[in-house]
A and B are shown apart, each in its own frame.
Chain A
Amino acid sequence: MAAGAGHAGLHFDRVDKRYGSVYALRNVTLSVAAGDCVVLAGRNGSGKTTLLRLAARLTRPTDGTISGAPEISAPQPAIGFVAHATMVYDELTAGENLRFFGKLLGLPRVNERVAELLKEVGLAERKDSLVRTFSRGMRQRVAIARALLAEPRLLLFDEPATGLDPEATAWLAAQLRKLRDAGCTILMSLHGESELAQLAGRAVRLDAGRVVADTRTGATFHSVYHFTGG
């Protein structure tokens, strides 16, 4: 990957993901262009999390191909992933967590980058506190800082506003706006319309593992968020 280059977009081609006899995703074909900001809407269990994990290359599709996202063996720093779980260590401090992941990623000036991020997420004074002592909102902020460590070009956020108060949600919306405007590709799953949803240029609805509505193919944003089936 050339330095500073965005990636080429994400393409799901007839992707199935099956767990035993249950299909989490069925025949999903979806293209996300570089720089797009897309919202994935859908009820619980509709396949949003599975789709994001597939995009992050954390799991393989049962059928179909996914292209565009960096291959598993390619530099992973290109992906920033935020999930339900915080994906940070409770028994380390915020600063230690970020320094640890920063070193793994091979960041050139780890300490500076960590300090910078901690300031951005508003946790600079709590950098020496164990994550175990943090509130849900603060943990989410550490998780987001971790995802942004290597300045990724592809961001995959799974219900990132869960457990955040309105103030924190507004802050998150501002962060995402900045990243979107800088040309990052964003794919995020949300429960419904919200401040975050307004950032998106496109919305896609999943239901029982299938794509059932897409603003790109004519559905309105409203209908995607308030899909009632049929």
Chain B
Amino acid sequence: MGLLSNAATLLAKEARTEFRSRELVSTTLVFVLIVVVLFSFAFDPTTSESRRFGPGLLWLAFLFAASLMMQPSFLREQANDTLSALRLSVRDPFAILLAKIGANTLFLLLTELLMLPVFAVMFNVAVVPQLPGLVLTFALGSLGIATAGTALAAISAQARMRELLLPLMLLPLLTPVLIAATAVTAGLLAREPVLEWKGIGFLAAFDVVFLTALWLFGEYLLEE
């Protein structure tokens, strides 16, 4: 079977598993909410401060949450050694990684979109008019987070203290995504909304670079 159809089959399975248990998206959503609420307690921001720091806070919360939700996708494959079964069933091991990236991107994006109305209410910003731009930004940012996250999850799954190690390695690596995504989101939610194409392009470039790196080195990540 071809790379893309294998990846699609794998992605469908990941989606079906998550749809049944809903554990990943729900726990991630709650985590993001908690981070946002804690921020308000810690800084007690005024309305204008909320506007200013909101986008950064949102992406910071997404990053923290993502660094915790990336592990399960590989740990699940270790439970019954289904990873070996996958490696024996697909011709191109990149399909396995591509599917995991796709699944993580979707779950992250779903969490972010569910968070958006809550964010709009808490920070008094109008998000509906900017929805297309926001969805695009969230999608590209999540893809970048999921790509790097999946790669590092594959690496840390084979080390001790993996639950601590993954966020440790992932967060510094994702600083460019944090910076660019925050900038674009802030632009969209400003009083005079603007879509910063430079930022969109940067996020897309980050995604391409890391997807390519994973395409080149992915099979070694899955080696035994």
Note whether A and B contact each other (Cβ less than 8 A): yes
Inter-chain CB contacts under 8 Å: number: 66
The answer to whether B87 touches A104 (Cβ under 8 A) is no
CA distance A72 to B87 in the complex (A): 9
Cβ-neighbour of A76 out of B21, B82, B91 (below 8 A): B91
User: Known contacts A59-B223, A101-B89, A104-B90; is A87 also within 8 Å of B84 by CB?
Assistant: yes
Q: Name the A residues within 8 Å of B88 (CB-CB).
A: 56, 58, 76, 79, 81
CA distance A101 to B80 in the complex (A): 15
Contact residue range for chain B?
20 to 34
The answer to whether B90 touches A88 (Cβ under 8 A) is no
Q: Name the A residues within 8 Å of B6 (CB-CB).
A: 104
The answer to whether B90 touches A87 (Cβ under 8 A) is no
CA distance A192 to B10 in the complex (A): 38
Least Cβ–Cβ distance between A111 and chain B, in angstroms: 14
The answer to whether B224 touches A105 (Cβ under 8 A) is no
The answer to whether B223 touches A73 (Cβ under 8 A) is no
Q: Name the A residues within 8 Å of B224 (CB-CB).
A: 53, 58-59
The answer to whether B85 touches A87 (Cβ under 8 A) is yes
Least Cβ–Cβ distance between A94 and chain B, in angstroms: 14
Least Cβ–Cβ distance between A127 and chain B, in angstroms: 16
Q: Which of B12-20, B37-45, B126-134 contacts A (4 or more CB under 8 A)?
A: B12-20
B114 contacts partner chain A, Cβ-Cβ < 8 Å: no
* Tally of chain A residues near chain B (CB < 8 A): 27
The answer to whether A106 touches B1 (Cβ under 8 A) is yes
A91 contacts partner chain B, Cβ-Cβ < 8 Å: yes
CA distance A75 to B223 in the complex (A): 18
Question: What is the chain B residue whose CB lies nearest that of A149?
Answer: B89
B9 contacts partner chain A, Cβ-Cβ < 8 Å: yes
Q: Which B81-108 residues sit within 8 Å CB-CB of chain A?
A: 81-82, 84-91
Least Cβ–Cβ distance between A190 and chain B, in angstroms: 20
B121 contacts partner chain A, Cβ-Cβ < 8 Å: no
Question: What is the chain A residue whose CB lies nearest that of B86?
Answer: A104
Cβ-neighbour of B1 out of A56, A60, A104 (below 8 A): A104
B79 contacts partner chain A, Cβ-Cβ < 8 Å: yes
What are the interface flags for A72-116 relative to B under an 8 Å C-beta threshold, 1 for contact and 0 otherwise?
010110010101011111111000100011011110000000000
CA distance A100 to B88 in the complex (A): 13
Q: Name the A residues within 8 Å of B89 (CB-CB).
A: 76, 101, 104-105
The answer to whether A58 touches B91 (Cβ under 8 A) is no
Least Cβ–Cβ distance between A141 and chain B, in angstroms: 15
The answer to whether B84 touches A83 (Cβ under 8 A) is yes
The answer to whether B85 touches A101 (Cβ under 8 A) is yes
Least Cβ–Cβ distance between B214 and chain A, in angstroms: 18
The answer to whether A89 touches B17 (Cβ under 8 A) is yes
CA distance A92 to B82 in the complex (A): 12
Most buried by A among B20, B84, B223: B84
A210 contacts partner chain B, Cβ-Cβ < 8 Å: no
Least Cβ–Cβ distance between A159 and chain B, in angstroms: 14
Q: Name the B residues within 8 Å of A76 (CB-CB).
A: 88-91
A153 contacts partner chain B, Cβ-Cβ < 8 Å: no
Q: Name the B residues within 8 Å of A205 (CB-CB).
A: none
Q: Name the B residues within 8 Å of A59 (CB-CB).
A: 223-224
Q: CB within 8 Å of A: which residues of B?
A: 1, 6, 9-10, 13, 16-17, 20-21, 79-82, 84-91, 223-224
A90-B80, A101-B85, A104-B86 known, 11 other contacts, Cβ within 8 Å: A56-B84, A58-B87, A58-B88, A76-B90, A86-B80, A87-B81, A89-B80, A91-B20, A104-B6, A105-B1, A105-B89
29 A-B pairs with C-beta separation under 8 A? A58-B87, A58-B224, A59-B223, A73-B91, A76-B88, A76-B89, A76-B91, A79-B88, A81-B84, A85-B81, A86-B80, A87-B80, A87-B81, A87-B82, A88-B85, A89-B17, A89-B80, A89-B82, A90-B79, A91-B21, A92-B13, A100-B9, A100-B13, A101-B85, A101-B89, A103-B9, A104-B90, A105-B89, A146-B85
Q: Which 6 A-B pairs have the closest CB atoms?
A: A85-B81, A106-B1, A87-B85, A104-B89, A59-B224, A103-B9
